[in-house]
RNA sequence: GCCCUUGUAGCUCAGCUGGUAGAGCAAUUGAUUUGUAAUCAAUAGGUCCGCGGUUCGACUCCGUGCGGGGGCACCA
């Protein structure tokens, strides 16, 4: 006699036990058609599950994330079914729904080829056609393990062992094929529709552990309608168009080459962009009380041993051997150098907080597979700084850093920032009461920002808690850039100290912080965020002056020179091409302003402005142009 | 680092099952002197990623190294 409460608060009394589907039918015909899975008292269940007791129910359709996930989870089962049909003997590992799709990990000697994916897709469509009925069985643990060992499905055996004691071991059948699975699943294989696509094959370690064997992972995507599938594919395509590696080449910003994998060869325009960002950051930091320094790129191995980096990160460090056999390391971080600067001369509490900054180029030997354009390189420049302060100053310094970082992101067009706060890990150095203080200081700064944040328990560095600043770009992707970390370890290790007001020597607290993080990476993100169409003030080439014909070359040159003289970056295009050609060429290379010069302009000492992505023409007296646009040639907050 | 995939002119790419390479754009030269997204023509341009092997003969097949791409692992 279950009394079933619906999400709207209404309830229905059923005379006998019912299935979820029957409840949906009772609510409405259309809901029963769209229903995919349900939750009973918050727990996800199959629609065919039988309800005997009073409960609250929620029915999910493809409009709910739960429903979408269920569709994708079913699709991956259907893929596995197809794979085992075409390639008998393929072993199954795991196959979850993920963001925008699903995957399944398989073990099989031979690799899956793109052609195989096509075959699998066809077989999947047949399974959907057949509309095989889903059935759930609960098996006894040992019987399940026994069953799967006999089949040689060793991953499934391991998976049974991972199911917590007390939980049911459930097997889902889709027709005759079955899989060990937590569920829930849709009523039949026809329910997923036909808007799916297998996208790629990739290697993946069993249980995500690189000590384990590598499995073959097939990724796919699945959507409730053709339109949503098309939209998704379109989104991927749009993201590809913004790819900074593609734009970097097209816009002549930088290149990479074999002789130095993971290191950037900056071209004139890319380097201009780089320098503009550095100049901007330098200005902001000078105003915020930072003291810029420069420390050696190559430092004796002994220092890295003392700092602890040698032991912990030695295998990712570049080293160099001198002719007399001394080992030096190429710095992977700037902090030890900054502590050494701090250590010069006796420091008093009156010197604190001391904010030491450096645009430090560091090298890290990243695994080859990790390299990715500008986003993951082996040589990069950090806008790094270390703030030496007393324990009492942590809170305020963290607040200042947080405000500075948010302000800077805003200037560069990122208003949407999320914070990730990570507190003490199990393995750590330092006293707990100092951790208490440090954690509170950081968390206060996080809260004061009034931004969305996540707390990552136990994810902090071994030497202190941290905040990571994640910005969301124009097409909704998240990028982790800035970081603020409290270091309770290094100052002590490298014997940093200051004389406190009571005359005793104390070890300062050190805050590590980077706002852009890596300049290289940040530029990659900027390129993708703006799709190469930079705001005027950071565009590496801001203006191209185009004479209508040779007759006006002299005037165009004069205009160009005047623009450069007031500090904007301008070029003049004197090539023997017609106006249409030049407009097309410079528009495609995303120059913010094109200035057209012909008879009219010469006569009136003016220029005709064509802005990127418009075809409007705006005539302006040259001196007014110079005045107006040099005023725009700086950061918004300036 | 691991799995899959890929490497042809400055760029984008074509080149069937082995007979030493081709297009478009860019470049150069000439003609044209152009008013808001490609003017016309000619010319030049390649150790087909490196090294080894199979073969009468390799850009094509095999092995290996390096680089790129997609994932996994890693990311102080």
Paired tokens of A562:
């005047």
DSSP A123-155: HHHHHHHHTPBEEEEEE-HHHHHHHHHHHT-HH
Question: What's the pLDDT score for residue A430?
Answer: 86
Tell me whether residue A254 is in a domain: no
| Same domain for A305 and A231 | no
Residue A152 CA distance to nucleotide B57 C1' (Å): 50
Tell me whether residue A199 is in a domain: yes
Which of A570, A519, A576, A569 lies closest to A545 in space, CA to CA? A570
Tell me whether residue A288 is in a domain: yes
Cα A498 to Cα A24: distance, rounded to the nearest angstrom: 71
Domain-terminating residue out of A530, A556, A571: A530
Residues 6 or more apart in contact with residue A150 via CB below 8 angstroms: none
At A191, which CATH number? 3.30.980.10
Neighbours of A466 (CB within 10 A): 23
Return left, alpha or beta for A50; rule: phi > 0 is left, psi -120 to 50 is alpha, else beta: beta
- Give whole-number Cα distances, A352 to A290, A291, A392, A511, A514, in Å: 12, 12, 11, 12, 19
At A582, which CATH number? 3.40.50.800
ipTM: 0.95
| Same domain for A471 and A566 | no
Tell me whether residue A526 is in a domain: yes
Tell me whether residue A9 is in a domain: yes
A512 is catalytic: yes
| Same domain for A313 and A186 | no
Neighbours of A408 (CB within 10 A): 22
Q: Which nucleotide is nearest to A583 (CA to C1')?
A: B37
Question: What's the pLDDT score for residue A48?
Answer: 96
Q: For A334, which DSSP code? A: S
| Same domain for A203 and A128 | yes
- How many Cα atoms sit within 13 Å of A597 on the Cβ side? 27
Residue nearest to nucleotide B30 (CA to C1'): A576
Question: What's the pLDDT score for residue A113?
Answer: 87
Mean pLDDT by 10 residues, chain A (638 residues): 91 93 94 96 96 95 97 98 96 96 95 90 96 97 96 96 94 97 96 95 96 96 96 93 96 95 96 98 97 98 95 94 95 97 97 98 97 98 98 94 96 96 90 91 92 92 94 94 95 96 96 98 98 97 97 97 97 95 96 98 98 96 98 94
| Same domain for A430 and A348 | yes
At A317, which CATH number? 3.30.930.10
Residue A148 CA distance to nucleotide B70 C1' (Å): 32
Q: Which nucleotide is nearest to A211 (CA to C1')?
A: B73
Pair A525, A481: CB distance under 8 Å: yes
Rounded to 5 degrees, what are φ and ψ at A36?
Answer: -115, -55
Q: For A507, which DSSP code? A: P
Peptide bond into A53 cis (omega under 30): no
| Same domain for A508 and A625 | no
Residue A554 CA distance to nucleotide B30 C1' (Å): 24
| Same domain for A281 and A204 | no
A335 is catalytic: yes
Q: Is A98 helix (H, G, I), strand (E, B) or coil?
A: strand
Which of A313, A324, A403 lies closest to A363 in space, CA to CA? A313
Paired tokens of A490:
């290094």
Residue A118 CA distance to nucleotide B14 C1' (Å): 25
Q: Which nucleotide is nearest to A616 (CA to C1')?
A: B36
Residue A448 CA distance to nucleotide B10 C1' (Å): 53
> Which long-range contacts (C-beta less than 8 Å, at least 24 apart) are formed by A86-95?
A86/A116, A86/A119, A86/A120, A86/A123, A87/A116, A91/A152, A91/A153, A91/A154, A91/A155, A92/A153, A92/A155, A92/A156, A92/A179, A93/A155, A93/A206, A93/A215, A94/A155, A94/A159, A95/A179
Looking at strand B, which nucleotides approach a protein CB closer than 7 A? Answer: 1-5, 7, 11-12, 27, 30-39, 66-76
Which of A102, A104, A74 lies closest to A90 in space, CA to CA? A104
What sign does the CA torsion over A374, A376, A382, A385 have? positive
| Same domain for A431 and A304 | yes
Angle, CA of A319, A320 and A326, to the nearest 5°: 110
Domain-terminating residue out of A241, A269, A294: A241
Residue A367 CA distance to nucleotide B4 C1' (Å): 18
| Same domain for A491 and A376 | yes
Q: For A90, which DSSP code? A: P
Burial class of residue A344 in the structure, from the number of CB atoms within 10 Å of its CB (0-12 exposed, 13-18 middle, 19+ buried): exposed
| Same domain for A491 and A394 | yes
Range of the domain at A351: 261-530
A182 is catalytic: no
Q: Is A280 helix (H, G, I), strand (E, B) or coil?
A: helix
Total structural domains within chain A: 4
Helices A65-86 and A114-130: crossing angle in degrees, nearest 10, is: 110
Tell me whether residue A535 is in a domain: no
Question: Residues for chain A: how many in total?
Answer: 638
Pair A491, A388: CB distance under 8 Å: yes
Domain-terminating residue out of A496, A530, A564: A530
Tell me whether residue A87 is in a domain: yes
Q: Are strands A453-456 and A417-422 parallel, antiparallel or unpaired?
A: parallel
| Same domain for A566 and A498 | no
Cα A638 to Cα A621: distance, rounded to the nearest angstrom: 25
| Same domain for A212 and A303 | no
At A53, which CATH number? 3.10.20.30
Cα A23 to Cα A2: distance, rounded to the nearest angstrom: 11
Cα A522 to Cα A413: distance, rounded to the nearest angstrom: 12
Tell me whether residue A538 is in a domain: no
Catalytic residue among A512, A521, A586, A590: A512
Pair A81, A128: CB distance under 8 Å: no
A364 is catalytic: yes
Cα A541 to Cα A220: distance, rounded to the nearest angstrom: 41
Cα A13 to Cα A21: distance, rounded to the nearest angstrom: 15
Q: Are strands A593-597 and A543-547 parallel, antiparallel or unpaired?
A: parallel
Residue nearest to nucleotide B50 (CA to C1'): A258
Catalytic residue among A136, A217, A309, A386: A386
Catalytic residue among A46, A69, A105, A384: A384
């Amino acid at each position: 006699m279950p009394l079933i409460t619906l999400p709207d608060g209404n309830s229905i009394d059923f005379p006998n036990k019912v299935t979820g589907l029957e409840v949906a039918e009772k609510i409405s015909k259309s809901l029963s058609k769209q229903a995919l899975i349900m939750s009973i008292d918050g727990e996800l269940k199959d629609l065919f599950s039988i309800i005997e007791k009073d409960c609250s129910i929620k029915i999910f359709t493809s409009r709910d994330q739960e429903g979408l996930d269920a569709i994708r989870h079913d699709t991956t089962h259907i893929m596995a079914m197809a794979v085992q049909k075409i390639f008998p003997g393929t072993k199954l590992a795991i196959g979850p729904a993920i963001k925008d799709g699903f995957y399944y990990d398989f073990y099989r000697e031979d690799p899956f080829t793109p052609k195989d994916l096509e075959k699998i897709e066809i077989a999947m469509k047949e399974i959907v056609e057949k509309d095989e009925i889903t059935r759930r069985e609960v098996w006894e643990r040992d019987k399940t393990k026994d069953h799967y060992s006999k089949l040689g499905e060793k991953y499934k055996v391991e998976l049974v062992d991972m199911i917590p004691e007390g939980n049911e071991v459930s097997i889902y059948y889709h027709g005759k094929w079955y899989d060990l699975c937590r569920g829930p699943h849709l009523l039949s294989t026809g329910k997923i529709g036909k808007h799916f696509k297998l996208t790629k094959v990739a290697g993946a370690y069993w249980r995500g552990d690189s000590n384990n064997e590598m499995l073959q992972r097939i990724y796919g995507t699945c959507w409730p309608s053709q339109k949503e599938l098309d939209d998704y594919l379109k989104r991927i395509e749009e993201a590809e168009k913004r790819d900074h590696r593609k734009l970097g080449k097209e816009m002549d910003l930088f290149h990479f080459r074999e002789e130095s994998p993971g290191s950037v060869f900056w071209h004139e325009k890319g380097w201009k962009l780089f320098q503009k960002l550095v100049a901007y950051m330098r200005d902001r930091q000078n105003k915020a009380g930072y003291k810029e320094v420069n420390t050696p790129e190559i430092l004796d191995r002994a220092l890295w041993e003392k700092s602890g980096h040698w032991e912990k990160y030695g295998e990712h460090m570049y080293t160099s051997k001198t002719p007399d056999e001394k080992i030096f390391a190429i710095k992977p971080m700037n902090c030890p150098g900054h502590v050494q600067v701090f250590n010069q001369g006796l420091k008093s509490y009156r010197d604190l907080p001391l904010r030491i900054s450096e645009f430090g180029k560091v090298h890290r030997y990243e695994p080859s597979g990790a390299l990715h354009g500008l986003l993951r390189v082996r040589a990069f420049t950090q806008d790094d700084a270390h703030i030496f302060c007393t324990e009492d100053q942590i809170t305020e310094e963290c607040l200042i850093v947080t405000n500075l970082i948010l302000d800077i992101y805003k200037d560069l067009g990122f208003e949407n920032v999320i914070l990730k706060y990570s507190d003490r890990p199990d393995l750590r150095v330092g006293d707990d009461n100092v951790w208490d203080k440090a954690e509170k200081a950081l968390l206060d700064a996080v809260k004061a920002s009034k931004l969305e944040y996540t707390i990552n328990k136990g994810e902090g560095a071994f030497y202190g808690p941290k905040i990571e600043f994640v910005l969301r770009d124009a097409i909704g992707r998240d990028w982790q850039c800035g970081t603020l970390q409290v270091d309770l370890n290094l100052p002590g290790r490298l014997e940093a100290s200051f004389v406190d007001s009571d005359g005793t020597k104390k070890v300062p607290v050190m805050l590590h912080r980077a706002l852009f993080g890596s300049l290289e990476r940040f530029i990659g993100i900027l390129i993708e965020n703006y799709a190469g169409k930079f705001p005027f003030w950071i565009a590496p080439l801001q203006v191209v002056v185009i004479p209508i014909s040779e007759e006006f070359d002299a005037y165009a040159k004069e205009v160009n020179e005047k623009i450069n003289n007031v500090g904007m970056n301008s070029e003049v295009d004197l090539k023997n091409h017609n106006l249409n050609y030049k407009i097309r060429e410079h528009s495609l290379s995303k120059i913010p302003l094109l200035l057209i010069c012909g008879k009219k302009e010469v006569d009136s000492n003016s220029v005709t402005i064509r802005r990127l992505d418009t075809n409007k023409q705006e005539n302006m007296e040259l001196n007014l142009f110079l005045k107006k646009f040099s005023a725009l040639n700086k950061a918004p907050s300036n």
